């Protein structure tokens, strides 16, 4: 008993440290400190050199980091280009929820939803799917805000034709209307 307990505690500490790896890496990118190696999702990543505080470089670094977080945390079920267990993510922004025609595994709630994907809705979805569409079939919450932000930056980059502004009005109207 006495020897097992510290191991469990060490294990818990290690896993929470790994979970915050993406956040640390992203913070480091924005600071003046040089980044040599960082851990995202438990994997050591190569150094990323950016001019500190250059918004375009920061955005590009977020997308690159977001792509890695996406492939680690979403890649088992999703791909940008093709339907897998979950629907494809190309051109997600500006697309109505549950609207990929040849994806056959949507829940009824997703299919019927009139919400439109934007950064805000995605953040809500990734935090708690059930709160956005009750009865959904994803059930994979991402607790770390920084991981959600990076994933969203990557997914935004996969929607090159979406308008710059979020379709907040459609979602606000839909949220105001009672569910049918
Ligand atoms: C265990 C498998 C699984 C994982 C992991 C997973 N998803 Fe999903 N995802 C699904 C399924 C299944 C659906 C369809 C849900 C439904 O119709 O109720 C879905 C639906 C979605 C949708 C809605 C797409 C649309 O066409 O409306 C988005 C957005 C999404 N997932 C994003 C993500 C992101 C980002 C991640 C990684 C953080 C992720 N998912 C991880 C299985 C998964």
Q: Give 152: exposed, middle or buried? Use CB within 10 Å, 0-12, 13-18, 19+.
A: buried
Whole-angstrom distance, CA of residue 180 vs CA of residue 177: 9
The span from the CA of 87 to the CA of 6, in Å, is: 42
**At which of 32, 50, 68 does a domain end?**
50
Closest CA to 95 of 157, 159, 139, 149: 159
Domain of residue 8 covers 1-50
User: 59-86, pLDDT tens digit by residue?
Assistant: 999 999 999 999 999 999 999 999 999 9
**pTM to 2 decimals?**
0.74
Q: Are residues 121 and 100 in the same domain?
A: yes
How far does the centroid of ligand 1 lie from the alpha carbon of residue 132, in Å? 12
Tokens representing 115?
């919400």
Residues 172 and 89 in one domain: yes
CA–CA gap between residue 57 and residue 165 (Å, rounded): 21
Domain count, the chain: 2
User: How far away, in angstroms, is 71 Cα from ligand 1 center?
Assistant: 13
Ligand 1, atom 37: closest residue by C-alpha: 74
- Do both 94 and 29 map to the same domain? no
Alpha carbons 3 and 131: distance in angstroms, whole number: 41
Using pLDDT thresholds of 50, 70 and 90, give the confidence band for residue 20.
Answer: very low
The answer to whether residues 38 and 67 belong to one domain is: no
* pLDDT value, residue 93: 97
What is d(CA 54, CA 43) in angstroms, rounded to the nearest whole number?
26
Of 148, 157, 152, nearest to 19 (Cα)?
148
Phi, psi torsion values for 38, nearest 5 degrees: -135, 160
Number of the ligand 1 atom closest to the C-alpha atom of 155: 35
Q: CATH number, domain at 67?
A: 1.10.760.10
Summarised one tens digit per residue, pLDDT across range 102-145 is: 999 999 999 999 999 999 999 999 999 999 999 999 999 999 99
Pocket of ligand 1 (CB under 6 A): 73-74, 76-78, 85-87, 92, 97-98, 100, 105-107, 110, 125-126, 136-138, 140, 142, 151
The answer on pLDDT for 13 being more than 60 is no
């Amino acid at each position: 008993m006495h020897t097992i307990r510290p191991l469990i505690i060490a294990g818990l500490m290690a896993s929470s440290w790994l979970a915050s790896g993406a956040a640390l890496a992203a913070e480091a990118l924005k600071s003046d400190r040089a980044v040599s190696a960082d851990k995202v999702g438990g994997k050591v990543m190569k150094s990323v050199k950016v001019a500190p505080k250059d918004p375009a470089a920061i955005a590009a670094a977020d997308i690159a980091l977001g792509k890695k977080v996406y492939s680690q945390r979403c890649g088992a079920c999703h791909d940008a280009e093709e339907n897998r267990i979950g629907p494809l993510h190309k051109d997600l922004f500006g697309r109505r929820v549950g609207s990929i025609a040849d994806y056959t595994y949507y829940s009824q709630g997703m299919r019927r939803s009139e919400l439109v994907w934007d950064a805000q809705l995605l953040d809500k979805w990734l935090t708690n799917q059930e709160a956005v569409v009750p009865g959904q079939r994803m059930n994979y919450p991402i607790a770390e805000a920084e991981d959600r932000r990076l994933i969203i930056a990557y997914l935004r980059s996969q929607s090159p034709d979406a308008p710059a502004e979020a379709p907040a009005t459609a979602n606000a109207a839909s949220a105001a209307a009672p569910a049918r």
